Amino acid sequence: MTSILRRKLDAGNFVVTAEVCPPKGCDCGEFREKSHALGKIVDAVNVTDNQGANVRISPLAPAALLLRDGIEPIMQLTCRDRNRLALQSELMAAAALGVTNVLALTGDHISFGDHPGGKPVFDLESVQLLQTIAALNSGRDLSGARLHGSTSFYAGAAAAPAAEPFEITLPKLAKKVAAGAGFFQTQAIFSPDCLARFAEAVHPLGAKVIVGILLLKSAGMARYVTNRVPGLKVPVDLIHELEDADHPLDTGVAIARRLVAAARPYCDGVHIMALGKEELIPDILAGLARDDDHD
Amino acid sequence: MIVSKQKPFTEILATLEPVSRIFLIGCAKCATVCKSGGEEQLWQMQEDLTAAGKEVTGSLVIDEACHMLRVQRDLRSKGEQVKNAEALLVLACGAGVQSVSTASDRLTVAGLDTLFLGNIRRFGQFEQRCSLCGHCILNETGGICPVTICPKGLLNGPCGGMDEGKCEVNPEAECAWCQIYQRLHDRGEQAPLSAANPPRDFSRNLRPGSLKLEK
């Protein structure tokens, strides 16, 4: 099975992705409804893995459910909760069920989540997880043993373009590409300058860049993100714009639309983080010339 | 050295609830430096236990409580006082407690929590720099250990949570990888980090560790 996301990116199409958080529990009804609505708008749906170190259903099952519904998943996989054996067996299981895209993540630290007393694993980290995926793709496990059938994952990685000092994050991005990352999905970006700097540094590495666009719903949320989320800083003028707005959500959509337009020349796609307002994604994408149709 | 901290007195007292006569043991090395099990703490413990209605039959500060033969010998030298006690309260690291529990048939009670192998910043301030992981990569990382200083133990650079050179887990702390890159940069070195570090070989520190020096 081959990744449609990869096919589109390789063909030079501009892609749109978004994420849906799987349920805390085994009832995936709402997850499927949300994803179904999203699937009509985006090229692939990210399925998060114990997001923010909070326990949820393993992304494997929801990713497989998406496939059943005809939606292409990007299964996120973190190293926080699984050792190298568990990561490999999870990847093989995902391949067997038809998952083709994996976003390899180290994962937020366990102290942020709902089980802060648990043991964080970090047996591997993102670069090594990418190497592991490459090994499985070549038909071998991490110890070099031959597998009964190899995987054919399209592997991606995360990037934080606004993190400072930027030059210190670069060697790791290069390692990620060298380890097999075909695409980056980035943290939310608010400044076209920062994006230009990132694109200039990353494009020579040869990976596709899918830029994170966060829908700012209010000035309060923008301030919260700035103060509380590592690596995210909403510029003051955007916060003022939201403060002065009669309808902050509309303004947030307008800002996101501007950011998408600013990002367009530098990237291969956008990853929209609408945080429950997924129905607004078409508005955010309005005006964007798309090169392909969604099926 | 091994950094340790006294358990809350109420917790120690609860563990000692079934006994009334207690012999106290401290350690002259790490627990003394940590002020968790030296002479002073033993005196204080004796005072507190007495006030709580317990009888302290005697006390002993062992030169190195981790030294099993020495513990055996020193306990023998306090024969009567140890024999009169129903329990031995040990204010030493976990290794010291187990030297004692191996050397004596008395109930052995641990009075400290053993925290980490620590460097001494200044008197009374300890920092973990080494995790005893069994495989030093300090020669490649400018002498700064990311296995210990990065809360995720990352081997290939900072995580996505690094910002302004600070750590995502503790924004007061400097990101280990920022320190490493800075130090290597200052020395004009960079090459050793351009290739990815492979997964750690955890078989090098499988527990329990043991080492026998060849003659």
Does ipTM top 0.85? yes
What distance in Å separates the CA atoms of residue B62 and residue B55, rounded to the nearest whole number?
A: 21
Task: Quick: pLDDT tens for A102-132.
Answer: 999 999 999 999 999 999 999 999 999 999 9
Q: Provide the residue type at A85 as one letter.
A: L
Average pLDDT, chain B: 95
Q: In what order do the strands lie in the sheet with B112-122?
A: B2-6, B112-122, B125-128
Q: pTM above the 0.80 mark?
A: yes
What distance in Å separates the CA atoms of residue B175 and residue B166, rounded to the nearest whole number?
A: 5
Q: Which residues of A touch B198 (CB under 8 A)?
A: 128, 131
For residues A211 and A271, the answer to whether their CB atoms sit within 8 Å is: yes
Output the CA torsion sign for B176, B177, B182, B186. Answer: positive
Q: Using the beta-carbon criterion (under 8 Å), do B152 and A159 form an inter-chain contact?
A: no
Task: Quick: pLDDT tens for B187-200.
Answer: 988 766 788 999 99
Of B164, B165, B196, the CB nearest to A127: B196
What distance in Å separates the CA atoms of residue A212 and residue B186, rounded to the nearest whole number?
A: 34
CB contact residues (below 8 A), chain B span 170-189, against chain A: 171, 177-178, 181
Distance (Å) from the alpha carbon of B181 to chain A's nearest alpha carbon: 7
**Mean of pLDDT values over A190-217:** 94
> From the candidates B141, B154, B159, which should be mutated to test the interface with A, based on the most A CB atoms within 10 A?
B159
What proportions of chain B, in percent to the nearest 5, are helix, strand and coil?
35, 20, 45
What distance in Å separates the CA atoms of residue B159 and residue B146, rounded to the nearest whole number?
A: 12
Q: Supply the pLDDT for residue A288.
A: 78
Q: Using the beta-carbon criterion (under 8 Å), do A106 and B178 form an inter-chain contact?
A: no
**In this complex, is the C-beta atom of A122 within 8 Å of any C-beta atom belonging to chain B?**
yes
- Angle value at C-alpha B125, between B119 and B129, nearest 5 degrees: 25
Q: Supply the pLDDT for residue B163.
A: 87
Query: What residues pair up with B126 in beta bridges, in sequence order?
Result: B120
Q: Supply the pLDDT for residue B33.
A: 97
For residues A82 and A142, the answer to whether their CB atoms sit within 8 Å is: no
**In this complex, is the C-beta atom of A163 within 8 Å of any C-beta atom belonging to chain B?**
yes
CB contact residues (below 8 A), chain B span 112-151, against chain A: 151
For residues A187 and A159, the answer to whether their CB atoms sit within 8 Å is: yes
CA distances from A222 to A119, A229, A239, B169 (A): 32, 10, 6, 21
Above 80 in pLDDT, residue A295?
no
For residues B103 and B62, the answer to whether their CB atoms sit within 8 Å is: no
